[in-house]
Structures are given as C-alpha cells and as structure tokens.
Amino acid sequence: MLGNGMAALRDTLVRARTEPVLSILIFHRVLAAPDPMAAGGVTQDEFARIAAIVRRHFACFPLSEAVARLDSGVPGHMLAITFDDGYCDNLDVALPILRRYGLPATVFVATNYLDGGVMWNDVVGESIARTSHSTLSHELLDTAAVPLDGVAARQRARKKMIGALKYLAQDERERLAGELARKLEVRPRTDLMLSTAQLQTLAADPLIEIGGHTRSHPILACTDDAAAANEMAEGKKQLEEIIGKPVYGFAYPNGQPGKDYMPEHAGMAPVSY
C-alpha cells in the first residue's frame, strides 16, 4: 500500500503522462535501509514502488535518447531517470531494482569523489549526525548555538549549516566542512561514493549511461569562467578514460538556472555534451 507521499507522486506522474513532454525523475541516493539523517535519499522500497509506477505508465528512455527524441519531434510523454553525484548505492541498491523493472537510467558523476572522496555536504551531514556533542556553534550561523538533541534538531542543524556553506567558493566550503568535522570530533565515512571499479561495472550495464557532473561539484555561478570550463572539460575527460567510451550528457551541479549556473555555462560545455 502506498503512503500519502508515494500516492501523491503516483497521481502526479499518471496525470503528467498525457502531456507530450519529457519528465525527469532526479535522484541522488537509494538507501538499503531508512536513515533519517541521510539527506537526498529514498529507500529501496520507495524506489521500487516508483519504478513500478514508471514501468506501468511511461515510456522510459536513457536521458540522451529521450532528449534526441524530443528534439526530433517524437510525440508522446517520455520519462527519464537520473542520479546525481556518483554514490555507490546507485550500483549496489538502485541498479538491481532498475534491472527488475527493465528501466534505463543516467548517472552523473563528479569525478573528484571517486575512490574514497567525500563531498563537502556529506562531511557536514555525517559530522552532525554522528557527533556526541549536544550543540553546534559556528561563525556562519545566525545563532550562538544550535541544539543537537534528537533527529529533528540534527536535521535542522544540517540544513542550516549546508545553507550557510553552499554558495561559498568550492575550496572555502570544503575547508570549513573539514573544520566542522574536526570540531565535532567525527571522521566522515569514505565509502559513500563509487570506486573506479564500481563505476566501470555500472557503466558496463546496458541499462546505464554515464554523464558528466564536473570534477568537484562547484556552483558554477560562483566560479570564474576558466575554472568552470576546466571543471566540465576535465570531468568529461576523466570519465571517458575510466569507462572507455564517450560521455555525452552533463548535469549542472545543484542545477537551478540563473542561480547555480548561467546561460554562458552552456557555451563552455565540451561540444559532445
């Protein structure tokens, strides 16, 4: 039986299928078990229910094929499934479900975090989730101390801290995230992201296509033009060297047009994107 949130998603998807457009379902993580402190994830049971809805009601395509069909005027409503960043549960948890329902997906990978890297937001989230400290204080927060007494309080603290760091320069937010981990006396996990070997396994599956997501996941609008262009080009090059085939798709980090990336960034992307 679907919960209220899942039922609402089902109803929205079913209504949308009558429109001749492309819908994209964007995921980050698919969790093997519920974890209230894991931001940006759905559980494997939730993902399986979503996959069943997609299988029943939609024509699902790899994103590159869906875009090509849309550009060529193919009628009907298409749907694509994507994953951002490159978490290893995309392989371990999501892929078996995609195989069960025969659904393709595109995985956008930020290459700097392969093989044990930790994204700055995960450093923040892990530190707040696992610390034994009862409060959090930081110069960038608008209060003297944020309580950490319980899951809800830690969720609020994580949201506040990530919001305070998100639009800083990439080096600065990584530095501050590392300082936070040391202050809260937590060593973040280094097994969240794909290894090179796992990425190769994922890319070899016929249901999966790999896309670029820069090297270090900067907010491009907060990055100088030369660095932004290098992030896109080098991320693509590294992926192609690892998986041994062309990479055509690209997802802008964070992805809000006019805030996280600007029109000029589309012109910086390598031609084959």
**pTM value?**
0.90
Contact 114, 194 (CB under 8 A): yes
- CA atoms of 188 and 185, how far apart (whole Å): 10
pLDDT at 167: 93
User: pLDDT (tens digit, 0 to 9) for every residue of the chain, 273 residues total?
Assistant: 345 566 776 676 666 666 667 889 999 999 999 998 888 789 999 999 999 999 998 889 999 999 888 888 776 788 999 999 999 999 999 999 999 999 999 999 999 999 999 999 999 999 999 999 999 988 778 767 889 999 999 999 999 999 999 999 989 999 999 999 999 999 999 999 999 999 999 999 999 999 999 999 999 999 999 999 999 999 999 999 999 999 989 999 998 899 999 999 988 887 666
Q: Within 13 Å of residue 105, how many CA atoms lie on the same side as its CB?
A: 29
CB atoms within 10 A of CB 106: 23
**Is the backbone of residue 214 left (phi > 0), alpha (psi -120 to 50) or beta?**
left
Distances (CA, A) of 4 to 7, 9, 127, 229: 5, 9, 31, 43
- CA atoms of 14 and 50, how far apart (whole Å): 12
Q: What confidence tens digit (pLDDT) does each residue in 28-47 have?
A: 999 999 998 888 789 999 99
Distances (CA, A) of 46 to 42, 51, 61: 6, 9, 21
Using N-to-C axis directions, what is the helix angle for 225-243 and 196-204, rounded to 10°? Answer: 70
